[in-house]
Chains A and B, each alone.
Chain A
Amino acid sequence: MLILEPRATTPRWLTVLTPVMAVIATMIAGGILFAILGKNPVEAIRIIFLDPLLDPYSRTEILVKAAPLILIAIGLSLGFRAGVWNIGAEGQFILGALAGGATGLAFYPVEGIWLLPLMTVAGALGGFLWAMIPAILKIRFGANEILVSLMLVYVAILLLSALVSGPLRDPDGFNFPESRQFHNAASLPILIEGSRVHAGVLVALGAVIAAYVILQRHMLGFRIKLTGQAPRAARFAGVSQNVIIAICLGISGALAGMAGLFEASGPVGQLVPALPAGYGFTAIIVAFLGRLHPVGILLAGLVMALTYIGGETAQLMLRIPSAAISVFQGMLLFFLLAVDVLTGFRLRWVGRTSA
């Protein structure tokens, strides 16, 4: 029978290979799912994974989708490494969009190059403060950050809905629950002509580089990793767990908040109740798929964005329901967790059955 044996060291190629294995397994299982739905599996997989790469506009759209995913996942990965489970990035995303967006709307119609940086800071601050709620409750009272941050997602969704149908509603909008369109100075500049690729893509890239430096070369990264791997050793090394909790939740909240603002002032162009779109949750998958490593997250974010864009096309061309794409992404995380066992353990075949 097959048994698992702990590994002393994990070969590097394996850490890289397992996510690829997970993607392939998901393609196969996804194909089976599509076949059950009565669609041509090969065609569906081709439309989802290949076609977007061949079309220039779709390629830019991948970047647009990937930017918020990567930005949020980078922040989450720091916390996940430290054992701080921020599950409420979706809420911090919304609060960032609200805080930054409200700042932009407050200065309507003032033009000025300073407005967008101000909105970005406000967005990051909004996400940061929203994330500090679970952080403080965890530090001060020991309340579970998973449940608190998640409950705050629902609160944030309701808050967004309340504000865009209340104080932030477009005065000329016939009572529709949405804000006015951001004016020029409050909109993100477009990087590539004829596409929706915005400055947020560069910020996401910057976050990847910064996270890489922190994790590989800085004591903060070392302390984060130490806290996650051996909490008592971290205490022995003089690391304050409370500080790590605050930093990890704070950074991930600020990054999610920024992502929310970029989404609002970039592709969407206004505040609407449907703004969230699940980025905060998908980013969890991205963080794990990227093995909590900044470069891995960059690649995983692109792959995940690919399935979004491809999924939309598949929805149109094959009438594959949108829910199928969520199932697809959920399966990806399952397969990833399943093959992950190979990095910590090796499979061995033993001839005789053992107890």
Chain B
Amino acid sequence: MTALLSIRELTKSYPGVLANDAVSFGLAPGEIHALLGENGAGKSTLVKMIYGLVRPDSGRMMLDGEAFTPANPQAARAAGVAMVFQHFSLFEAMSVAENIALGMANAPGRRDLSERIRTISTAYGLPLDPERMVGTLSVGERQRVEIVRCLLQNPRILIMDEPTSVLTPQEVEILFGTLRRLSEEGVAILYISHKLEEIRSLCSAATILRGGRVVDTCTPSQKSARELAEMMIGSALAQPPERPETTGEPMLTLTGLNMATEDHFGISLKDITLTVLAGEVIGIAGVAGNGQDELLLALSGETKSAPGQIMLGETDIGALGPNQRRNLGLLAAPEERLGHAAAPDMSLTENALLSGATRERLAWQGFIKPVTTANFARAIIARFDVRTPGPETAAKALSGGNLQKFLMGREILQRPRVLVVNQPTWGVDAHAAATIRAALVQLAADGAGVIVISQDLDELMEVSNRFAVLNMGALSDPQPVGEVSVEKIGLMMGGVHGEVADAHP
């Protein structure tokens, strides 16, 4: 096979980080090639260079045997390279057609474009209405917009950056169908992921990155998921902890929790009923944007609810604010680390004060106790092995994993009666993720009730005792983890998203 794209010794460094170190690999026409690696392994930087968003420090790229140095994404697109971003580059307040036009070098006229969107999107099994406002689409549909935008330009190379992290299993199947068909048509696909089973079933070749270097290449179908994982992480995986039996007292009871969204494009919570027992972890799955953020806000006290809908033990806490809830023992850790759970420019000590002030009594009559506060921060750092020069370091200076350990530790060390976490290991390296999961399971074992909201099904399978799915703001009945299969979960998650959305407008 002759390489369509070949990459030789690409190197790119950022201050303090060598993002790519002499990376080489080749991409043949029609090949689905996996770029496998952990967060921070350098996958994103690599594809950004191919897409013309980042200039390499050194190294060469060849397209069709000729030097390929895209100055910007327009140039890359003109050469036939298209990319679907992990964080979509979409404009919520604009229509599907306008979004697609923005990604094309010479977009046809309005009517013509709408027609082509309809044709192409149906042809590839990804139906789209060109006039719909993107902000009203589900995450799966948004991804379709991105893909159709690429397809309209007849790409020769399609880069997909973690495309399935936001999809239901059924939607993943549809996507794979589309990708296989493109591959048959001769389009080379560069597929970035850390989901091993997907790569095994989809990709014909894989390049494995660790710490910015190519550490291995393989044919994924000939390797087991465990072998792939060990290539990716570079060390043996820890065994998941034993799960204890749970028959505790009810700690937190949600009865018909309803909450209208404040946000234009947000999701309203519909009639959520759930009881969290002492000593158990309840896992809540669901595709992003189905009410996860709203549920966390309703529980943390950042949004208030009607009386009688949220009971902590015997206390109705629907009208209480975050600090009053903390006093009673209900703690929360939101998904977004920088900006929501932590103030990026503030030190770790100040961030410890942020949620710990009331329950840890870090202030007297409003006057901050500096020594006590610093000691609390130090305790978190020590207990959760947070790698940082010290408690005076700004939160934004920490890596994702270290900051997340600090933020989880901040809540866990306050001895919560109930802890709610959203995406506890999103964007965190494997070791930190394992530490965090173990700490959550241990917290439950010590008698607290824990709610873990996550989009990572493997994670939920590992930590939860019972399991429920959040879909369009409604929560399914929780079921013991042993009794559910991935297919069943997929259906609970709403099957193929667009269809569900159409069925219940």
Contacts and interface: CB of A to CB of B under 8 A. Distances in A.
B72 A236 contact: no
Interface string A221-255: 01001100110110111101000000000000000
Contacts of B295: none
B52 A233 contact: no
B133 interface: no
A119 to B, nearest CB: 30
Interface of B: 15, 52-55, 71-72, 300-302, 321-324, 326, 332, 334, 336, 338-346, 350, 353-355, 357-358, 363, 366-368, 370, 393-394, 396-397
B394 A220 contact: no
A233 B343 contact: yes
Contact of B336 (A5, A218, A232, A355): A232
The 8 lowest CB-CB distance pairs between A and B, nearest first, are A238-B323, A8-B397, A238-B322, A230-B343, A232-B340, A219-B366, A237-B354, A233-B343
Contact of A219 (B368, B394, B397): B368
Contact of A5 (B15, B324, B350, B394): B15
Interface string A152-175: 000000000000000000000000
Given A8-B397, A218-B366, A219-B367, 8 more contacts: A8-B396, A9-B393, A9-B397, A218-B367, A229-B343, A236-B354, A355-B55, A355-B71
Contact of A230 (B324, B339, B358, B363): B339
B327 to A, nearest CB: 10
Most-contacted residue by chain B among A8, A237, A355 (CB, 10 A): A237
Given A9-B393, A9-B394, A355-B53, A237 B355 contact: yes
Most-contacted residue by chain B among A8, A230, A235, A354 (CB, 10 A): A230
Contacts of A319: none
Contacts of A9: 393-394, 397
A226 B366 contact: no
B230 to A, nearest CB: 33
11 contacts: A5-B15, A217-B367, A217-B370, A226-B354, A229-B345, A229-B346, A236-B332, A236-B355, A237-B355, A355-B53, A355-B54
A158 B360 CA distance: 53
B68 to A, nearest CB: 15
Contacts of B52: 355
Contacts of B370: 217
B306 to A, nearest CB: 19
Contact of A229 (B54, B326, B344, B358): B344
A219 B366 CA distance: 5
B355 A219 contact: no
Interface residues of A, number: 23
A219 B350 CA distance: 11
B353 A222 contact: yes
Nearest to B347: A9
A219 B354 contact: no
A328 B340 CA distance: 41
A308 B54 CA distance: 50
Contact of B340 (A8, A236, A238, A348): A236
Contact of A233 (B55, B72, B342, B397): B342
B396 to A, nearest CB: 7
A236 B397 contact: no
Contacts of B350: 222
B357 A219 contact: yes
Contact of A235 (B54, B72, B302): B302
Most-contacted residue by chain A among B15, B53, B332 (CB, 10 A): B15
A318 B324 CA distance: 65
Contacts of A5: 15
Contacts of A226: 343, 346, 354
A219 B353 CA distance: 9
B428 to A, nearest CB: 19
Contact of B55 (A218, A222, A235, A354): A354
Given A218-B366, A219-B363, A238-B301, A233 B339 contact: yes
A226 B351 CA distance: 10
A218 B368 CA distance: 5
A232 B297 CA distance: 11
A225 B52 CA distance: 39
Most-contacted residue by chain B among A220, A222, A240, A352 (CB, 10 A): A222
Contacts of A240: 321
A220 to B, nearest CB: 6
A218 B321 CA distance: 20
A5 B14 CA distance: 10
Contacts of A233: 339-343, 354
Contacts of B367: 217-219
Contact of A222 (B322, B336, B368, B393): B368
Contacts of A237: 322-323, 354-355, 357
A168 B408 CA distance: 63
Contact of A236 (B53, B322, B358): B322
A225 B345 CA distance: 10
Interface string A45-70: 00000000000000000000000000
Interface in A200-216: none
A235 B340 CA distance: 8
Nearest to B14: A5
B366 A220 contact: yes
B294 to A, nearest CB: 14
A78 B148 CA distance: 49
Contacts of B393: 8-9
A292 B446 CA distance: 46
Nearest to A227: B343
Contacts of A235: 302, 322
Contacts of A354: 55
